[in-house]
Structure 1
Amino acid sequence: MTAPPPSAPPCSSPPPCFSYEELADRVLDGAFGPDPRTQRIAVAFTTRQAVRHDGRSGGYRNEVLSLRLGEAVGSCAVEPGALPDEAIDTCVGADVARLLRHELTPVRIAALDAYLLRMLPHTSASGARPQPLAAGTSLEKSRARAESVAGLLGPEPGRTVLVVGVVNSLLEALRSRGLDYVACDLKGGTTEWGEPVVTDALAHLDRCDAVLASGMTLGNGTFEPLREHALRHGKQLVMFAQTGSAILPRFLGAGVTAVCAEPYPFFWLDGGPGLIHCYGGHYGGPA
């Protein structure tokens, strides 16, 4: 990503936000850069994916809404088929301020993500640590990302981690570190190892010592309760974020302890080398 526009005020270390609404309001007030009413979305698109890795018994589907603002692409994952086809038409040419008040949550999140990514790209000035992903198959790259994400929790075996948004590679990385987990996903079902997947994350918070959550929680309304619980009880909350990769670092110090940020294009789109960005946590590189 290139540097923010010259008109943007210095904002490499803005104070943390204590709610999504507070963050959106600060953007609308110009706290992070130019008036969002002057920033227009040039391109809107969706990405749909179905995957079943070699050696895995099951597969899954992804759908992501992405909005391009200058050189930045903000994204929000949605449940496959849930986004109306006309949604992208309402985004093209619209200013960010208008989209931050859009009726559809994924549009609001993708617009905020695009704006913040343009103003605060993932650089060392913003607190990000780049972590290369080597070229490889989708499973190899998934496992490499998982090692980086799990590394943000730190080397403390024996703890129980609530994993919100089941990715089998992440569960595999936790298992290799001697960490127990409760797997949670709105889809339910079972993990690759036949373990039940619970569907209500909030009901299982008290039995877990730390939380590892997908950025998709921004879109389904569960992020704020997770953040508030972590802040109130002093628990680790590590986010792995394709959705809201530029949003979630703004909550470091306000409940979020670490973020693995992965803006578009995501690791599953390309077999070549890639890059993720780590914030906070106990990161020591892949095991």
Structure 2
Amino acid sequence: MTPVTVDVTTYDDLLARARAGALGPDPAARRISAAFTTRQAVRHAGRGTGYRNEVLSLRLAEAVGSCAVEPGALPDSAVEDCVGADVARLLEHPLPPVRVAALDAYLMHVTPHLPDHGAEAVPLPAGTSLEKSRARARAVVELLDLPSGATVLVVGVVNSLLEALRSRGLGYVPCDLKGGATEWGEAVVTDALAAADRCDALLVSGMTLGNGTFEPLRRLALRQGKQLVTFAQTGSAVLPRLLGSGVSAVCAEPYPFFWLDGGAGTVHRYRAGRPGGAR
């Protein structure tokens, strides 16, 4: 399947083009064969705090698209709404996470994570949950092109990412809608846009696609000329399409995620300007 190359500049533009069939085959002719949620709670050995995840995933042929949500936020009816539905209908679903997961599945089907599409495969070794979390964090942080002493706004707090930033001599401002504190007792801010002015770059979770906070961050990065690197379990096939339109690099991690399996895995890195990119 040869993807159609169409320049897009915003998430909403990408969604509209997909609905119109401008990015590949008619979405009304593609149906979701399986819909499921993945729920987990984790506390890595040696860490004092844990976290919970909930992810909606949709299977389209060989592809799986996903969108993370706050635990308990997704109604049980969402899965029943999605299974057997055509992609075009789900791209207009009233729930934003369903739209994101449907778009992710469609784009994964059209443009899988392959070198011809600009993807660099980075292996994650087998190991404990903490070992794999740290390996993933190193793969993400290596995408930041910053001198020691620079400060990064981290939107979507992952303690292993903060640890990896410190190991490179980078400062950070942790930000999450839930607030709270990091593993090391640092206050987590809740207003990303307010904190961005005092940071040199943005490191942003793909989960922002589903909760509606991504676009303001993308526009800010574009306007201020700051790097915006995303770590994407949510929208792993969506965010590479926005490279060069405010997104400078993506670490894409499609389902199954590193926290689901102790075996070896793979993440896929994209950089703006790389030949064959997923635009």
TM-score by length of 2: 0.96
State the partner residue of 1:72.
63
State the partner residue of 2:277.
none
| Cα distance per residue 1:188-213 (max 9 Å; x no partner) | 11111111001111111111110000
Q: CA deviation at 1:28?
A: 1.8
Cα distance in 1 for partners of 2:213, 2:9 equals 15
The answer as to whether partners of 1:16 and 1:253 remain within 8 angstroms in 2 is no
Q: 2:106 aligns with which of 100, 115, 118?
A: 115
Q: 1:181 aligns with which of 144, 151, 172?
A: 172
Q: CA deviation at 1:154?
A: 2.4
State the partner residue of 1:95.
86
Cα distance in 2 for partners of 1:250, 1:10 equals 12
| Cα distance per residue 1:47-84 (max 9 Å; x no partner) | 00100011111001000000000000000000000110
State the partner residue of 1:143.
134
Gaps of 5+ in 2: 275-279
TM alignment of 1:1-287, pairs within 5 A: 4=1, 9-11=2-4, 14-280=5-271
Q: CA deviation at 1:155?
A: 4.8
For 1:258, give the aligned amino acid: A
Cα distance in 2 for partners of 1:23, 1:73 equals 18
The answer as to whether partners of 2:244 and 2:272 remain within 8 angstroms in 1 is no
For 1:81, give the aligned amino acid: G
For 1:90, give the aligned amino acid: D
Task: Pick closer, same or farther for the CA change 1:70–1:224 going to 2, 3 Å.
Answer: same
| Cα distance per residue 1:255-280 (max 9 Å; x no partner) | 00000000000000000000000001
Q: CA deviation at 1:98?
A: 0.3
Task: Pick closer, same or farther for the CA change 1:223–1:136 going to 2, 3 Å.
Answer: same
Would you identify which runs of 4 or more consecutive aligned residues in structure 1 move more than 4 Å?
none
The answer as to whether partners of 1:41 and 1:67 remain within 8 angstroms in 2 is yes
For 1:113, give the aligned amino acid: D
| Cα distance per residue 1:166-205 (max 9 Å; x no partner) | 0000000000001010000111111111110011111111
Cα distance in 1 for partners of 2:132, 2:6 equals 33
Q: CA deviation at 1:41?
A: 0.4
Cα distance in 1 for partners of 2:95, 2:16 equals 17
The answer as to whether partners of 2:205 and 2:231 remain within 8 angstroms in 1 is yes
Q: CA deviation at 1:123?
A: 0.3
Q: CA deviation at 1:29?
A: 2.0
For 1:31, give the aligned amino acid: A
The answer as to whether partners of 2:6 and 2:23 remain within 8 angstroms in 1 is no
For 1:95, give the aligned amino acid: D
* % same residue: 71
Gaps of 5+ in 1: none
Q: CA deviation at 1:16?
A: 4.1
SS of 1:58's partner is coil
For 2:106, give the aligned amino acid: Y
Cα distance in 1 for partners of 2:186, 2:3 equals 48
